[in-house]
Amino acid sequence: ALLSSRAFTDYSTSGLENPLVNLLIAAFAGVFLRERGSPGRRLTALWGLASLVYLARPDAVLMVAPLLLVATLRVRQAPVIARSVGLGLLPALAWTGFAVLYYGFPFPNTAYAKLGMDVSAAQLWTQGVIYVIDVVDRDPVTPVLIALAIVMAAAGLRGGARRADRAGHAALAAGIALYLVYIVSIGGDFMSGRFFAAPFFAAVLALTRFAEADWRAWA
């Protein structure tokens, strides 16, 4: 699937942040699914990885935010949550503080240039839809597999799947969908398929979890 995606192959060798974001998403999913270790350590690791995702590309946090919310709610111990959130956010807070002091603003200047345009929301949504149509036309494998992963996760893992797996799938699918809605709302991008590469990788991760499911998961 990865080798069949034009978006994934093009932007894995483009010199942009895509490979790093993919690596961090894979690490986040791995820690989320791992059951070893104390809940506090796992939650700290997840918040730390979310900070690194933010540092790699701030808007990519949308993809892991639902998983992070699920993992945080599972702990159910306020002191543990507070400690984990505080420690995990240190990298993001440290860089943001430095950026404000050194550069004068917390986000990359490209964010202000792209999001601060005097363009109506309707025009941006229209351009975002055109961006999606362009991907469907040039690289149909990518949006089709993303849609499949979202539909499979929404349907839930049946056939004896654990409740934790279902919650994780639903959260990851929600993150992918949330990110795509955001991309459409800002008008997409001038690089065809670029913003589909990371959600496609996340979708493939989600689909691999169905390999052990029985036929009812695919019915």
DSSP 8-state symbol, 104: S
pTM, to two decimals: 0.88
Q: Which pLDDT score, from 0 to 100, does residue 159 have?
A: 45
Full pLDDT tens readout for the chain, 219 residues: 999 999 999 999 888 999 999 999 999 998 998 877 788 999 999 999 999 999 999 999 999 999 999 999 989 899 999 999 999 999 999 999 999 999 999 988 888 888 777 888 899 999 999 999 999 999 999 999 999 998 888 776 554 455 556 777 889 899 999 999 999 999 999 999 999 999 999 999 988 876 665 555 555
Residue 51 and residue 92 in contact, taking contact as beta carbons nearer than 8 Å: yes
Q: Which pLDDT score, from 0 to 100, does residue 185 have?
A: 94
- 3-state helix/strand/coil string of 114-155: HHCCCCCHHHHHHHHHHHHHHHHHHCCHHHHHHHHHHHHHHH
At 118 the three-state DSSP class reads: coil
CA separation for the pair 162, 37 (Å, rounded): 19
Q: Name the helix (H) or strand (E) containing 185.
A: helix 163-185
